[in-house]
Amino acid sequence: MITVEDNGVGLRPEANAKNGIGLSNLRARLETLYGTNQEMKITSGAAAGVVVRIETPWQEAPLEENTSAG
């Protein structure tokens, strides 16, 4: 899980933060990489600001063997 928070003014009611180009691209990439096994939520912070939470599956990368002679 990745969480990004700020303490700015927060989301404006008239702003449609979910349909911007950058967020649309991010959603498309998450969908391409993880299908339905991912989630991104954008919410207002408790007092102010915005919280973005992205959840993806955890998978450890295999260890690479050192094949160089030396």
Residue length of the chain: 70
Write the pLDDT tens digit of every residue in 29-52: 999 999 999 999 988 877 788 899
Q: Give domain status of residue 19, yes or no.
A: yes
Q: What distance in Å separates the CA atoms of residue 61 and residue 42, rounded to the nearest whole number?
A: 29
Higher pLDDT pick, 45 / 27: 27
Position 67 scores a pLDDT of 65
Of 44, 61, 62, nearest in space to 52 by CA: 44
Position 17 scores a pLDDT of 57
What residue numbers bound the domain in which 11 lies? 2-55
Position 46 scores a pLDDT of 77
Q: By three-state DSSP, how is residue 55 classified?
A: strand
Higher pLDDT pick, 65 / 8: 8
Q: What distance in Å separates the CA atoms of residue 14 and residue 47, rounded to the nearest whole number?
A: 19
Of 36, 35, 53, 37, nearest in space to 45 by CA: 53
State how many domains the chain has: 1
Q: Give domain status of residue 65, yes or no.
A: no
